């Protein structure tokens, strides 16, 4: 399968009064057709900013470098008008908090209509039909009636479904999902994940899924990329990364997830807290918290290497980590 | 269903009273001749300066004109002042405020200086200054009020839009590829406009006061037009002997102003509970 999205050396800086902060540092990955990529990391690791950087959805204090190749064109070099055509048309996004991401004073139907107006040439009647179709697609019953309702008349799960309907209105090829299930309770979370999986199959689109929930990643994604302090430290298929983590941070994350069906054992935790963007340590950013750290980690930033097929890691001691074994096996 | 019932059942009382006063005022303003017993400008030298009686409920003035008929006919001009002196500031202020609030940066700094400059002067003084340059009359009064008044609306809207543009749904609009104009006027403005609408109602009450003040000073509506401010000015020489010439137009101002204020309060309450 060929790559639909190719990200090379993407770097996003924020210029602040106290100096430049690097929120996304030299990030590279690619995404294939119909693939779901999980972007995993703690709060502040830069996963949401990475996602927003792809479609340049950043405040004016941000500056970007690198390349985001989407269907042969670099999004970072596009004019504002071209970017607008990509956003919502070819690449859509859904957000963490459906309650605040929907406009409270406009009916749901009108919000779907807005996307169709911006990206299609459909007539009024066709847009109405399409809106009904979308409501069916995302599993909202009684579409005709609910199109006229306002967000506050929808439950949390239904709001996220409506958000997805708006995002999918113009048949995007890529869906960016920024923790779409974090604000929902567990049973609803499951329904929404299943919906996204179904839609991926039905509409043949790719998905980038930002989350800090490894359970969600294991259940939905094909591949995962682990982020720490603005960098991707490990990339691989779900099976590979879970079975043979090669970065000490990934191993720590896997060890901190409780599991059912195994003997009760204390959860591992990663000591310390992730560094702030203004105080990222020299060398490998993870070394102060790392059990495997050696002298070289303190002075030099590890480069990303392909250690196994489709399994990349940026760690000086990846073999030692690999030997220590996966905490989830 | 239950929501709809709840809403109609709890229409705030100020809105009901205010609305009723405004509805009646509007009716008088549109059909004054239906309600006025006499021609407002007909002199009757047989009945000069007569006190309230069954023939003239509010008495007559120094030309024998029926005060009640003049008060009723004045609704046409004064309600017009309430609307026209406020609708242009409202519209202009809303557009400029929305743009300034969204764009921010230098536009905000420049706008801030303009606001400072305008609010340094007392509103009435500034308007009187402009009217005396342009010359008296209603049209010039609208222009003068418009030049100054938009600032207050723009300030309210800019502050609201500034808050709204940081919310997720504004980001979502950008993520869907909508143009800035579309995001500002279609998505942000409906969320930001409530306080400006409420202020508009209060402003209409102030506009009637302003219109009457300028009429009184001879800078607004010109005699012999029936206008409350003009009427009060006409009667000021007879206050000791024929109080009714000035007092009844004054009461009309109070009542209409009350109507607008109550409506504004009630509207604020309704729009607040809706969120």
Q: Does domain A3-90+173-324 have CATH number 2.60.40.1930?
A: no
pLDDT at B85 over 80: yes
Q: Count Cβ atoms within 10 A of the Cβ of residue A29 and give its class: 0-12 exposed, 13-18 middle, 19 or more buried.
A: buried
Question: Does B177 sit within 8 Å of A118, measured CB to CB?
Answer: yes
Q: Which two tokens stand for residue B109?
A: 């700094």
Domains of chain A: which residue ranges? 3-90+173-324, 104-171
pLDDT at B7 over 70: no
Cβ contacts of B182 on chain A, cutoff 8 Å? 114, 118
Q: Minimal Cα–Cα distance from B77 to chain A, Å?
A: 36
pLDDT of B3 > 50? The answer is no
**Distance (Å, whole) CA A12 – CA A89:** 24
Q: Which residues of B touch A114 (CB under 8 A)?
A: 173, 176, 178, 182, 186-187
User: Closest-CA residue in chain A for B176?
Assistant: A88
CA–CA distance, B10 with B34 (Å, rounded to integer)? 35
Q: Considering only alpha carbons, which residue of chain A is nearest residue B166?
A: A59
> Best interface-test mutation with B: which of A58, A86, A103 has the largest number of B CBs within 10 A?
A103
Report the percent of chain A where pLDDT is more than 70: 98
A8 touches chain B (CB under 8 A): no
CA A51 to chain centre: 6
Helix H, strand E, coil C: the string for chain B is: CHHHHHHHHCCCHHHHHHHHHHHHHHHHHHCHHHHCCCCCCCCCCCCCCCCCCCCCCCCECCCCCEHHHHHHHHHHHHHHHHHHHHHHHHHHHHHHHHHHHHHCHHHHHHHHHHHHHHHHCCHHHHHHHHHHHHCCCHHHHHHHHHHHHHHHHHHHHHHHHHHHCCCHHHHHHHHCCCCHHHHHHHHHHHHHCHHHHHHHHHHHHHHHHHHHHHHHHCCCCCCCCCCHHHHHHHHHHHCCCCCHHHHHHHHHHHHHHHHHHHHHHHHHHHHHHHC
Name every residue whose Cβ is closer than 8 Å to that of residue B189 and which is 6 or more positions away in sequence: B94, B98, B157, B161
Least confident of A196-205, A264-273, B17-26, B217-226: A264-273
Contact criterion met (CB < 8 Å) for A103 and B169: yes
Q: What is the reported pLDDT for B43?
A: 87
Asked if A95's CB is within 8 angstroms of B172's CB, the reply is: yes
Pairing of strands A73-74, A231-237: unpaired
Between B161 and B122, the more confident residue is B161
Peptide bond into B224 cis (omega under 30): yes
B168, B176, B190 member nearest A115 (Cβ): B176
Domain of residue B177, CATH code: 1.10.3720.10
What is the tens place of the pLDDT at every residue in A71-103?
A: 999 999 999 999 999 999 999 999 988 889 999
Residue A280 in contact with partner chain B when CB distance is under 8 A: no
Identify the top-confidence range among A138-152, B39-53, B209-223.
Answer: A138-152
Q: Residue A118 is nearest to which of B172, B178, B275, comparing CB atoms? A: B178
N- to C-terminal Cα separation, chain B? 17
Distance between the two ends of chain A, CA-based, in angstroms? Answer: 30
Interval A258-279 mean pLDDT: 78
Question: Is A316 in CB contact (< 8 Å) with chain B?
Answer: no
Kindly tell me if the per-residue pLDDT of A45 is higher than 70. yes
Per-residue pLDDT, B2? 43
Whether B2 is in a domain gets the answer: no
DSSP A87: B
Residues of A in contact with B174 (CB under 8 A): 57, 87
The answer to whether residues A180 and A94 touch, using CB atoms and an 8 Å cutoff, is yes
| C-alpha distance from B273 to closest chain A C-alpha (Å) | 13
Cross-chain residue pair A95–B178, CB shorter than 8 Å: no
A104 → closest Cβ in B171, B172, B191: B191
pTM value surpassing 0.95:
no
The residue among A57, A78, A101 with the most chain B CBs within 10 A of its CB, best to mutate, is A101
C-alpha neighbours within 13 Å on the C-beta side of residue B203: 23
Q: Distance, in angstroms, between B173 CA and closest chain A CA?
A: 9
Write down the pLDDT at residue B273.
61
Chain B residues within an 8 Å CB radius of A106: 187, 190
For A164-210, what is the HEC assignment?
HHHHHCCCCCEEEEECCCCCCCHHHHHHHHHHHHHHHHHHCCEEEEE
Which chain A residues are Cβ-neighbours of B179 within 8 angstroms? 84, 118
Residue B5 reports pLDDT greater than 70 = no
Report yes or no: A31 and A174 within 8 Å, Cβ to Cβ: yes
Query: Could you tell me the two tokens for A128?
Result: 């109405």
Tens-place pLDDT, residues B31-54? 998 998 889 888 888 888 888 888
Task: List the single residue in B172, B177, B275 with the smallest CB-CB distance to A101.
Answer: B172
- How would you label A229-253 residue by residue, b for 16+ Cβ within 10 Å and e otherwise? bbbbbbbbbbebbbebbbbbbbbbb
* Tens-place pLDDT, residues A202-257: 999 999 999 988 988 999 999 999 999 999 999 999 999 999 999 999 999 988 88
Contact call for A105 and B179, based on CB within 8 A: no
Domain count, chain B: 1
CA atoms within 13 A on the CB side of B104: 11
The closest CB to that of A93, out of B175, B182, B191, belongs to B175
Instruction: State whether B177 and A166 contact (CB < 8 Å).
Output: no
Residue B36 domain-assigned (yes or no): no
> Are A95 and B171 within 8 A, CB to CB?
yes
Residue A163 with chain B: CB contacts under 8 Å: 172
Mean pLDDT rounded to a whole number for chain B: 89
- So what's the pLDDT on residue B80? 93
In this prediction, residue B8 carries a pLDDT of 52
Query: What chain B residue is nearest to A52 in terms of C-alpha separation?
Result: B175
State how far residue A114 is from chain B, nearest Cα, in angstroms.
8
B45 contact partners, CB below 8 Å, separation of at least 6: B63, B64
Residues in B whose CB is inside 8 Å of some CB of A read 3, 167-169, 171-179, 182, 186-187, 190-191, 275
Please give the structure tokens belonging to residue A125. Answer: 């009647």
Q: Chain B contacts of A55, Cβ < 8 Å?
A: 175
**What pLDDT is attached to residue A206?**
95
Place of tokens 């299609």: A120
Domain with B268 in it: 11-29+64-274
Q: Which of A196, A203, A187 has the alpha carbon at shortest distance from A164?
A: A196
Q: Who among A85, A87, A103 is closest to B175 (CB)?
A: A87
Q: Are residues B178 and A105, on separate chains, in Cβ contact within 8 Å?
A: no
Confidence of residue B9 (pLDDT cuts 50, 70, 90): low
Residues of A in contact with B186 (CB under 8 A): 114
pLDDT at B137 over 90: no
What pLDDT was estimated at residue B220? 85
């Amino acid at each position: 399968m060929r790559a639909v999205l190719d990200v090379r050396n993407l770097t996003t800086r924020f210029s602040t009064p106290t100096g430049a902060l690097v929120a996304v540092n030299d990030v590279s990955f690619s995404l294939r057709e119909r693939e779901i990529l999980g972007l995993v990391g703690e709060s502040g690791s830069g996963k949401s900013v990475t996602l927003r950087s792809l479609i340049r959805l950043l405040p004016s204090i941000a500056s970007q470098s690198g390349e985001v190749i989407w269907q042969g064109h670099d999004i970072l070099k596009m004019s504002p008008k071209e970017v607008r055509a990509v956003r919502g048309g070819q690449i859509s996004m859904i957000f963490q908090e459906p309650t605040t991401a929907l406009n409270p004073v406009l009916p749901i139907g009108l919000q779907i209509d807005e996307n169709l107006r911006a990206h299609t040439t459909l007539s009024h009647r066709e847009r109405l039909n399409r809106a009904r179709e979308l409501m069916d697609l995302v599993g909202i019953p009684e579409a005709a009636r609910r199109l006229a309702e306002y967000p506050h008349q929808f439950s949390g799960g239904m709001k996220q479904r409506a958000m997805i309907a708006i995002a999918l209105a113009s048949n995007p090829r890529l869906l960016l999902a920024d923790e779409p299930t974090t604000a929902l309770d567990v049973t609803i979370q499951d329904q929404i994940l299943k919906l996204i999986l179904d839609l991926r199959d039905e509409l043949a689109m790719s998905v980038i899924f930002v989350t800090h929930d490894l359970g969600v990643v294991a259940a939905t994604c094909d591949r995962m990329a682990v982020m720490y302090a603005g960098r991707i430290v490990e990339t691989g298929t779900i099976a590979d990364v879970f079975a043979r983590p090669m970065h000490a941070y990934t191993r720590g994350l896997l060890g901190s997830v409780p599991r059912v069906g195994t003997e009760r054992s204390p959860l591992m935790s990663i000591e310390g807290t992730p560094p702030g963007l203004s105080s990222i340590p020299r060398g490998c950013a993870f070394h102060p918290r790392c059990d495997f750290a050696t002298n070289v980690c303190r002075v030099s930033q590890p480069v990303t290497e392909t250690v196994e097929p489709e399994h990349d890691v940026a760690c000086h001691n990846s073999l030692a980590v690999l030997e220590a074994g996966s905490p989830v096996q | 269903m239950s929501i709809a019932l709840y809403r109609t059942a709890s229409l705030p009382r100020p809105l009901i009273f205010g609305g009723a006063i405004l509805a009646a005022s509007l009716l008088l303003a549109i059909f004054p001749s239906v309600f006025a017993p006499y021609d407002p400008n007909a002199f009757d030298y047989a009945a000069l300066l007569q006190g309230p009686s069954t023939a003239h409920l509010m008495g007559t003035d120094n030309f024998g004109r029926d005060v009640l008929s003049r008060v009723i006919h004045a609704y046409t001009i004064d309600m017009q002042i309430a609307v026209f002196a406020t609708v242009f500031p409202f519209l202009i202020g809303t557009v400029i405020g929305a743009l300034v609030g969204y764009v921010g940066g230098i536009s905000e700094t420049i706008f801030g200086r303009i606001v400072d400059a305008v609010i340094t002067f007392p509103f009435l003084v500034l308007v009187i200054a402009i009217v005396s340059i342009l010359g008296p009359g209603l049209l010039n009064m609208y222009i003068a009020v418009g030049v100054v008044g938009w600032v207050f609306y723009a300030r309210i809207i800019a502050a609201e839009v500034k808050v709204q543009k940081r919310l997720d749904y504004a980001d979502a609009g950008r993520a869907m590829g909508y143009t800035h104009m579309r995001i500002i006027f279609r998505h942000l403005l409906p969320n930001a406009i409530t306080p400006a609408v409420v202020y508009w109602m209060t402003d209409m009450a102030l506009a009637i006061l302003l219109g009457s003040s300028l009429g009184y000073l001879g800078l607004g509506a010109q005699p012999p037009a029936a206008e409350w401010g003009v009427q009060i000015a006409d009667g000021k020489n007879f206050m000791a002997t024929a109080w009714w010439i000035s007092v009844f137009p004054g009461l009309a101002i109070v009542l209409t102003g009350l109507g607008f204020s109550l409506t504004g309060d009630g509207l604020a309450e309704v729009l607040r509970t809706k969120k």
